[in-house]
Amino acid sequence: MSERHFVSGLSSDDETTFALIGAIQEHTKIPLDELLKSFGEYWIKYASETSYGGMMKMAGNDLVSLLSNLDRMHVGIAAQMPGASMPSFEVLDASDTQIKIRYRSERDGLEAFVVGLLQGLLNRFNDFGEIRYIINADFSDFTIVRSVEKVPA
């Protein structure tokens, strides 16, 4: 599990999850970030098509609404999951050209997973954009750039 140090977990459940990811990575030789991104994208498709579909629909009919409602949704789920550690997403800014989102988590190293989730959501709403992020000490800021040429460098 050569890249295991990139992801640090909280609970023994996390240990198991990350050990599994490490094993898949070792077996497939797919870089960790790529695996996490694929899994995030897959999860949105999976959630939309299974019993979580209703929850996804209720959360919002467009990307910004859904992102704005995510914390409420996760808190609701956490109430029935003792020991769960939910992420937090704050929409900092939303315009025609870009969406800025602040992601907070007690876990480190899941940014590529978030990229996949955001890509999955873009796919879900037939929306488009380039996803960028900057990792800070206590949070990571994601930008979905919808129109690359209109945004100043």
Q: Which residues bind ligand HEM (CB under 6 A)?
A: 44, 47, 52, 55-56, 70, 74, 77, 81, 84-87, 89, 105-107, 110, 113-114, 117
Burial zone of 70 (CB within 10 Å; 0-12 exposed, 13-18 middle, 19+ buried): buried
**Closest CB 30 distance from ligand HEM, rounded Å:** 20
Residue 59 host element (H or E): helix 53-59
Q: Alpha carbon of 60 to those of 53, 124, 141: distances in Å? A: 11, 11, 21
- Closer residue to ligand HEM (CB): 18 or 113: 113
Q: Does residue 104 sit in helix, strand or coil?
A: strand
| Residue among 72 and 150 whose Cβ is closer to ligand HEM | 72
Kindly state the tokens that stand for 15.
Answer: 């240990």
Min dist. Cβ of residue 1 to ligand HEM (A): 20
Please give, one letter per residue, the 3-state secondary structure of 35-58. HHHHHHHHHHHHHHHCCCHHHHHH
Q: Which is nearer to ligand HEM, 114 or 131 (CB)?
A: 114
Residue 110 beta carbon to ligand HEM: minimum distance, rounded to whole angstroms: 5
Name residue 94's beta-bridge partners: 99
- Nearest to ligand HEM of 47, 64 (CB atom): 47
Smallest distance, ligand HEM to C-beta of residue 51, A: 9
